[in-house]
Chain A
């Protein structure tokens, strides 16, 4: 049986997402089955559009979706959005793979994406507001069921 790895992607920050996808793609390229469980701010990585506001959301949900978007900040030195812009330029210049590249690779390497339905519910996110790459919509039990047979489990 193949080894397994799971990642809980809780953070919605560019640098942390790159770290998660670097490990996930490398594990998948090392013949492991990899699942990523996106929860809370991690769902921002999967949002189809920048502002995911629908008429079904309450005012607080609308505010969260306006202020926490798919335009990911840096976890440090964000400098009101200047940080990610500079980091992306630096990564391009030095030849580091971008988050977009890593996410395309992740799907080619058949990494499974699970979106947390509780977080989706709290933030008022419909299946349609997330990218079509999500394989499953599930909760804590599904994650734990995968994690208990997995050798590597990370919370990022």
Chain B
């Protein structure tokens, strides 16, 4: 998937990946795609739930070994 920005959150635990996602997404334009890399196993469910709350478009999660790659389209 073509991404506009990549956010590396490996080594961080909840709530940091979600908060960093929010801060970076706030600086992006509507329709742009953000990839977030995280090795926190809870991130898979958390990113989907956060998108549901905020209305950002959740594309999906790709697993690359222990790394979860989450994709979000800015609303």
Contacts and interface: CB of A to CB of B under 8 A. Distances in A.
B11 A31 contact: no
Contacts of B15: 22, 25-26, 29, 97, 102
Interface residues of B, number: 14
Interface in B6-54: 11-16, 18-19, 21-23, 50, 53-54
A145 interface: no
B52 to A, nearest CB: 9
Contacts of B18: 26, 29-30
Most chain B beta-carbon contacts within 10 A, residue among A26, A94, A96: A26
A97 B53 contact: no
Leading 10 A-B pairs by shortest Cβ distance: A29-B22, A26-B15, A30-B53, A95-B11, A29-B19, A96-B13, A22-B15, A97-B16, A95-B12, A31-B54
